Structures are given as C-alpha cells and as structure tokens.
Amino acid sequence: MIRYALACDQGHDFEAWFSASADFDEQSKRGLLACPVCGSEAVGKQIMAPAVASRGSAGEGARAPAMQAMMMEAMGKVRRHVEDNFDYVGDKFAAEARSIHEGKSEERGIYGEATSGEVKALVADGVPVAPLPPPAPKKADVN
C-alpha cells in the first residue's frame, strides 16, 4: 500500500491509500478521485518526503499492515453503521439533504449518491455532508 498526500483545486489537503503507484493515475483518469471535503475531482499529489526508516523507527514498518487492517476495519464499521441505521435515498441525496437542512423534511440520517457539483453546492450552502467510506474490497480483488 502507498499513501499519498493529495490536494484539490480548492486547497483542501487529504491523504489516500493506493495498492500500487499506478493506481492513483488510473483512478484519476477514470474520474474516481474526489475531495472528501468539497467533492472536487481536480485532485493532485502533493510533494512528500520519502519515509526513511531510522534505528528508532525500525519496528514501525512491521506495524504498518496492522495499522492498515485496523483502519480498514474501522471504515467498514462506519459504513455498516450508516447502511444499517440511515435511510438510503439514492440519487435524491442532494435534494433530501438540503430539504432536511432547511427544515422542510424530517430530521434523520440519510445516505445516497450525489455528483461533485451537487456536493460543492451543499458545502457552499452550509449543509453538513461527508463521504461514506468505500466498501471493503473483495478478497478476490486483493493481491
């Protein structure tokens, strides 16, 4: 796994993990990358210093797979919680989120799909939104 420091064209910094260095380029070309804050698809890599192990950090490399597994498990729990307890509204997410925010619909947790433009408009209008962690990869798709 490779961790990249990324930034969108709106100046939001975030990190993402990729299975291989070519995965970033492939996902970027296919339009699969978006800023988790504003939904912008104009995402690029930031300059990063390489992680060089020193004598004091020799054990850190051995902990990386365990830390990755812990993060994947936590993200899976968040996704399952949302799927089990929130209402799925499909591609009506942006309209329903705005309606709830404006008090026109009942206050409740929802999830669904929205375009990057819809997400940008929601964020600009102060509607609280956050991306749902992606589903865990199928074991057959993992190296």
Q: Tell me: the pLDDT tens digits for 67-76?
A: 888 888 888 8
The verdict on residue 130 lying in a domain is: no
The number of folded domains in the chain is 1
- Contacts of residue 50, defined as CB under 8 A and 6 or more positions apart, other chains included, come to none
The verdict on residue 74 lying in a domain is: no
Q: What is the pLDDT of residues 26-50, one digit of tens each?
A: 888 888 888 888 888 899 988 776 6
Asked whether the beta carbons of 133 and 78 are under 8 A apart, the reply is yes
The verdict on residue 36 lying in a domain is: yes
Q: What is the pLDDT of residues 60-116, one digit of tens each?
A: 556 778 888 888 888 889 999 999 999 999 999 999 999 999 999 999 999 999 998
The verdict on residue 100 lying in a domain is: no
The verdict on residue 39 lying in a domain is: yes
Q: What is the pLDDT of residues 128-138, one digit of tens each?
A: 998 888 877 76
Question: If pLDDT is split at 50, 70 and 90, which confidence band does 16 have?
Answer: confident
pLDDT at 49: 61
The verdict on residue 71 lying in a domain is: no
Residue 22: which domain range? 1-50
Distance CA 32, CA 24 (A): 9
